[in-house]
Structure 1
Amino acid sequence: MTVKVLILEDNPVARSFLSRVVRESFSDVSSITEAGDLEAARRLLGYAPGGQAVADQAPYQLILVDLELPDGSGMELLKELAAYPATRIVTTLYSDDEHLFPALQCGADGYLLKEDRFEVLVEELQKIVRGQPPLSPAIARRLLTHFRTGEGASFGQGNGHATATALHQPAHAVAAPLDHERLTPRESEVLTYLSKGFTIKEIAALMGIKWFTVNDHIKSIYKKLNVSSRAEAAVLASKQGLV
């Protein structure tokens, strides 16, 4: 199975750099496609008439999205990828609140700064395999500062930023009891391994599937169980006698 990656970046030098980062990060990535603007990315993603990306039989599993593009903002694409089965990582030069929090609210699974060293970006991207969000060190510090100073409750009230809850729960999340019947057999199996502390790569090896597929299952589990971490999922599963 070929793991497909899409890099949306208008700067050719940056595209080449990010492509090298991806190949260094994942040994099983053998297909990287590059797009220089939103129109090209949408064409590659096979957009439906309603303006949403449609996953074909061989969808992209990882999409790197620049925010400032010649024909619009990467924020638009993040919103349009809401139902697309891929891990979406912002790769940008902007580290300010006005870009960071809206990007997370739009569905970004990680936020990396292109100015970081090659080794740092590789290390952060590899966190995907461990089920952790890739965040540049400066971005992680910014998020911690907001929480520690109390600003995390609203991330800049009155400025339209994402709320702290938005970082930890899907936008659609509502309080609801655990309904394990909604989990597929594969998802239940992944949840069992997660609860026992196995890494994504270990689960992939045990189940004989790609780690990107395991990552997709985990995202689906989090969505169905209304949780945002393996710890929360494990606790809920344990209380319900699922593991």
Structure 2
Amino acid sequence: MAVKVLILEDNPVARSFLCRVVRESFSDAIVITEAGDLETARRHISLTGGSQGLHGVDPFKLIMVDLELPDGNGMELLSELAHYPATKIVTTLYSDDDHLFPALQCGADGYLLKEDRFEVLVEELQKIVRGQPPLSPAIARRLLTHFRPGGGDTTAPDSGFMPPPFTTSRPVPIERKPDHERLTPRESEVLTYLSKGFTIKEIASLMGIKWFTVNDHIKSIYKKLNVSSRAEAAVLASKQGLV
């Protein structure tokens, strides 16, 4: 089954460019749906299970969202899709903190600048398959500077936003979870492969599933273990005898 992608971008030229980037980035069969405004995007999402993707129709697995749109701001959609089972990436021209940190806090899994070269965007988007967050180089440098000791807090003082928690998380003891919060057999299998150093694409091949599905399992694992990297997950899983 083809992987479904939604690209929300009001500029037709930029939208066409992003479609080419997506097709070049992944080897899986891709079906791209385009939207030029929030209303159209919401309509397409409602056909794939609504804001949580629960109604039996194959949901989008990758959603790329522009921020400035004719009928609102892309952050509205990110907030609405907090529980939607997709990788959500902001694609924008804005590299300032006033857009970056709120977007991450609203649920963006990555942040790409449309002004980057085609090859750079393809490379950054492919990081999803390797289990890394897709971040434009300028954005990655900005985050490093922001959280480096002495780097200072460059977030606007009155913005009301705090840096996203995954950027500063540290290993913490795993508390015993109720049954519904424990790792499923599938998640345990994914975690075992992760701890052995396999990439997401390799895990997908070994398990006979799509790499987007592996990515969904990893997100669930990180959430249940309260970690933000495969290294933290592997260490905690080993200590707790989860793998």
TM-score exceeds 0.5: yes
* Separation (CA, whole Å) in 2 of partners of 1:97 and 1:234: 32
* Separation (CA, whole Å) in 2 of partners of 1:224 and 1:148: 27
Taking the TM superposition and a 5 Å limit, the aligned residue runs for 1:63-212 are 63-151=63-151, 155-163=155-163, 165=165, 167-168=167-168, 177=175, 179=177, 181=179, 182-212=182-212
* Separation (CA, whole Å) in 1 of partners of 2:205 and 2:96: 39
Change (3 A) 1:145 1:152: same
* Separation (CA, whole Å) in 2 of partners of 1:11 and 1:119: 20
Contact 1:191–1:218 (8 Å) recurs in 2: yes
Say what the alpha-carbon RMSD is for the aligned residues. Answer: 2.2
Change (3 A) 1:236 1:175: closer
Q: Which runs of 5+ in 1 are unaligned?
A: none
* Separation (CA, whole Å) in 2 of partners of 1:216 and 1:233: 15
* Separation (CA, whole Å) in 1 of partners of 2:35 and 2:168: 30
Contact 2:53–2:85 (8 Å) recurs in 1: no
Aligned-residue sequence identity (percent) comes to: 78
Per-residue CA deviations over 1:21-57 (Å, capped at 9, x if unaligned) read 0000001132000000000000000179xx8353443
What SS does the corresponding residue of 1:130 show, helix, strand or coil? coil
Contact 1:222–1:228 (8 Å) recurs in 2: yes
* Separation (CA, whole Å) in 1 of partners of 2:152 and 2:74: 24
Q: Which runs of 5+ in 2 are unaligned?
A: none
Change (3 A) 1:104 1:188: same
Structure-1 residue corresponding to 2:53: 54
Contact 1:153–1:164 (8 Å) recurs in 2: no
Amino acid at match of 2:90: V
TM-score, reference length from structure 2: 0.90
Contact 1:105–1:166 (8 Å) recurs in 2: no
Change (3 A) 1:233 1:96: same
TM-score, reference length from structure 1: 0.90
* Separation (CA, whole Å) in 1 of partners of 2:34 and 2:128: 20
